[in-house]
Structure 1
Amino acid sequence: MKLQDIATFVVGNPPPGFGGRYFVFVKLTTACGISGVGEAYGVPFEPHLVARLIEDVFARYGAGTDPHDIEALWRRAYSSGFTQHPDLTMSGVLSALEMACWDIVGKAAGQPVHKLLGGRVHETLRTYTYIYPRPGDRTDVYHDPDLAAERAAEYLSLGFTALKFDPAGPYSAFDGRQLSLEALDLSERFARQLREAVGSRADLLFGTHGQMTAAGAIRLARRLEPYDPLWLEEPVPPDAPEEMAKVARATSIPIATGERLATKYDFARLLDCGAAAILQVNLGRVGGLLEAKKIAGMAEARHVQIAPHLYCGPVVGAANIQLAACSPNFLILEGIEDWGGFHAQILKKPIHFEQGNVIPSDEPGLGVELDEDVARANPYTGTMLHLEMTQHPVR
């Protein structure tokens, strides 16, 4: 079995655009006609250029090779150009290719990927969602704790037992910083009113995106502790795990992080520092399924849990599900509401969501098939990146 052909798809995510402005998918096909799909997350360049990067790496290291030889593909790409260092661009590109190889390997074996990575240990996967806006909202649910509390009740009716929110204000290219008193007050109000709304029926996941210094995050955490969040997410920028460890030691709230980290080497530093209790690997950035399984194993040895991150498309979502299903230390899975909308439309068969849980597929490979007609009918024509930070300091 040899890899022969590649196709890439840069797909615009239509309104409301939950999951980002666009998705970058790849399809690999072997000489014997088996195809597999993958997805790159958050590569910080124009997405059509990202598609070309994927094609270039495939031509150099993938074409003509056996898709089973994932370790060899990984090491060659990781070392490309005399690098051998975690690189978010290469890691995102490699994640998409590696994911597609696993999809092919599973289909060739007639088994879902989780069966090839140790076998299923979780029959259902608990999921959470952000508290998202809706058409006709009277205010911005991201900044209105009253509306957020009302919306939380709607999510609970769908079976969710965990909800995420991020009221701490914009994230900037100049962070970390001290949050303003106004932002601290609003964050505390959100936590208090959501806890009053959901009681003990749901966990609260307090999301931040590296806005704070360690000292600033500790100030925020002390305000949040009375409301017992399941986690405080990425309280400081991801480039200094030693600083994040200061926050972890100063609060009773578990620290979750990892969406902006890549490879076992980044996560080893995090674990060595004792910086997090929950690792949010994103399968479209971390280096792929096998790399994420290694990270999950490293975490398991330290009694740290995993909560796969998803703010992208459903192919990464499907890979997250495969990892979660076979990882003993799985905690919870991020989803985009109930996995409906465009995330369902672009798949031939949607991911199975049931009362706040995902039911892992028993279909061979990743368990999803990209609807290429839908992908081609929704090209991305914008100029902005998947996510962008505020370009000036926030006071």
Structure 2
Amino acid sequence: MKITKLETFHVRPRWLFLKIHTDEGIVGYGEPVLEGRARTVETAIKEFERYLIGQDPMLIEHHWQVMYRGGFYRGGPVILSAISGIEQALWDIKGKYYNMPVYEMLGGACRNKIRMYTHVKQVGIKNGNSIDQMVEMARERKEQGYTAIKYSIIPPIRNIDTLAAVEEHVERFARVREAIGKDIDLAIDFHGRVSPAMAIRLAKALEPYYPMFIEEPCLPENVDAMVRIAQSTTIPIAAGERLFTKWGYRELLEKQAVAVVQPDLCHVGGILEAKKIAAMAEVYYRSVAPHNPLGPISLAACLQLDACIPNFLFQEHPGMPEKWDLGEGYLKNPFVIVDGYIPLPRGPGLGIELDEEAMKDKIFDGIWETPLLYEEDGSLADW
């Protein structure tokens, strides 16, 4: 079997889908997208296409090594996002060829259903929702059957902020916790928007309300800063969505900066690379909660990993009202969440098939820009 073509689709709201064709008629799907840089990643795919055409799609590890190590410069979000989507599609082809899910080829399932968590959506990235709006949406998520939810910290926090600002954020979390009760896990995403100094103060103030974890309490470039935060609080720390490959996770794990690692399978290097990271995390008794703010192919890849790693915690998905992230309008058989879980996928490969006819009204030029966020004085804030 040989690879004959790599076909890409820009689809709303901001996704890039990949379809790899073979001379035996088997096709594989991947989601090689970097938010705000989809067209740049598409160019990287076209560059890899020159190598991949005519190759045996079964040699996944070999092709990964060539794409990653074949140039003098390695890694980075653009190259790794391209590699990730290609790798997903190759696993999809291999699973279809052998008529088995990807997780069966990676050791078999450890569970029979996948626990999901979703977001309490903010109406904007500057001021967010009122506390009453947050409470109402959190209750809706609980009524939908979720056993875990998360929201992002908004509005921005100054590097050293006021007591009033801290109290406002704590009141928001406390009210949501009161609304959903003690039997629902509630996590908060600092999104790298908070300085280490303020993260420590906020974590201390939030501790009485038992956050499941604080995600990205500070930016990920300085692991020692995250270590200091982790050592200052009893709240578990989660991070990893902006890291790439096993090498990017080494220091995070060795210094025990986090309790939960969050590889993004569309950026980190793909399914097998994420499994290697999960094995590294297992050595340190750390859990894995794959990051996924993207589309249904990304989710399909995540579910294959979730099924076969012993230290899986739960799986993120955005929880769009129109269920696009579950595949409504994109997949012939969208995913269905039952009481907060997705049943173990049983189909071959990634277990999905694109509905290209339904997707036609969602095709666009791929231009999507990350919203910019500013402080009160007009300076740029971290998004």
**What amino acid sits opposite 2:315 in the alignment?**
L
Q: Deviations over 1:307-354 (max 9, x none)?
A: 011111110011011100101000011122278522321111101311
CA contact (8 A) 2:329 2:359 kept: no
Contact 1:178 1:212 (8 Å CA) reproduced: no
C-alpha displacement at 1:58, in angstroms? 2.3
C-alpha displacement of 1:75: 1.3
Instruction: State the partner residue of 1:169.
Output: 155
2:83 maps to: 94
Q: Give how far 1:52 is off.
A: 2.5
Q: What is the distance in 2 between the residues matched to 1:179 and 1:38?
A: 43
- In the TM superposition, what is the alpha-carbon distance from 1:389 to its structure 2 partner? 4.2
Which residue of 298, 302, 312 maps to 1:316?
298
Which of 61, 84, 88 is the aligned partner of 1:71?
Answer: 61
Q: Could you give the per-residue CA deviations for residues 233-275 of structure 1, whole angstroms, max 9, x where no partner exists?
A: 0011111112111111111000001111110000111101211
Q: Is 1:362 aligned with 2:346?
A: yes
Give the match for residue 10 of structure 1: 10
Shift of 1:394: 4.2
Deviation (angstroms), 1:122 = 1.3
Partner-residue secondary structure (3-state), 2:46: helix
Whole-angstrom distance in 2 between the partners of 1:65 and 1:170? 49
Instruction: Give the counterpart letter for 1:73 in structure 2.
Output: H
Q: In the aligned structure 2, how far is the partner of 1:267 from the partner of 1:389?
A: 28
Distance in 1 of aligned mates of 2:211 and 2:323: 29
Report the alpha carbon displacement of residue 190 of structure 1 after superposing the two structures with TM: 1.4
Bigger shift: 178-187 or 288-297?
178-187
Q: Is the 8 A contact 1:168 1:186 kept in 2?
A: no
The SS at the match of 1:353 is coil
Pick from 11, 26, 36: which aligns with 1:34?
A: 26
CA contact (8 A) 1:167 1:186 kept: no
Q: Give the superposition deviation at 1:28.
A: 0.2
Q: Write the deviation string for residues 18-72 of structure 1: whole angstroms up to 9, x where unpaired.
A: xxxx101100011111000000232553x23322221221223x22222221111
* CA spacing shift, 1:184–1:168, aligned 2, 3 Å: farther
User: Structure 1: which 5+ runs fail to align?
Assistant: 14-21
| CA distance, structure 2, for counterparts of residue 179 and residue 378 of structure 1 | 42
Query: How far off its partner does 1:230 sit?
Result: 0.5
Give the whole-Å Cα distance in 2 for the aligned partners of 1:274 and 1:347. Answer: 39
Partner residue of 2:373?
A: 390
8 Å CA contact 2:33, 2:41 repeated in 1: no
Does the Cα contact within 8 Å between 1:58 and 1:97 map onto a contact in 2? no
Separation in structure 2 between the aligned mates of residue 64 and residue 356 of structure 1, nearest angstrom: 43
Matched residue, 1:16: none
> TM-score with structure 2 length normalisation?
0.92
| Counterpart amino acid of residue 27 in structure 2 | S
1:372 aligned partner? 356
Rounded Cα–Cα distance in structure 1 between residues aligned with 2:311 and 2:18: 29
* Equivalence map 1:17-56=2 (5 Å): 22-42=14-34, 45=37, 47-56=38-47
Distance (whole Å) between structure 2 residues aligned to residue 195 and residue 333 of structure 1: 21
Counterpart position of 2:173: 191
2:143 matched to which residue of 1? 157
**Corresponding position of 1:298:** 280
Q: How many pairs align?
A: 375
**SS of residue matched to 1:153:** helix
Instruction: Describe the superposition over 1:120-178 as per-residue Cα deviations: whole angstroms up to 9, x where unpaired.
Output: 011111111111268xx9xx99431222112211111111111111234249xxxx933
Alignment of 1:256-267 (within 5 A): 256-267=238-249
Q: Quick one: percent identity of the two aligned structures?
A: 36
- Residue deviations 1:210-252 (CA, integer Å, cap 9, x gap): 1122222111101110100000000111111121111111110
In structure 1, what is the Cα distance between the partners aligned to 2:76 and 2:295? Answer: 21
Contact preservation (8 Å) 1:128, 1:335: yes
1:52 and 1:374 map into 2 onto residues whose CA distance is 26
Is residue 199 of structure 2 the alignment partner of residue 212 of structure 1? Answer: no
Displacement of 1:188 in angstroms is 0.3
Distance 1:132 1:141 in 2: 12
The corresponding residue for 1:307 is: 289
Does the aligned pair in 2 maintain the 1:142–1:165 contact within 8 Å? Answer: no
Q: Secondary structure, in 3 states, of the residue corresponding to 1:147?
A: helix
Alignment RMSD (CA, Å): 2.2
**Pair 178,78 (structure 1): closer, same or farther in 2 beyond 3 Å:** farther
Separation (CA, whole Å) in 2 of partners of 1:279 and 1:218: 20
1 CA distance for matches of 2:291 and 2:162? 28
Give yes or no for contact 2:40–2:78 (8 Å, CA) kept in 1: no
Alignment CA distance shift 1:147-1:77 (3 Å): same
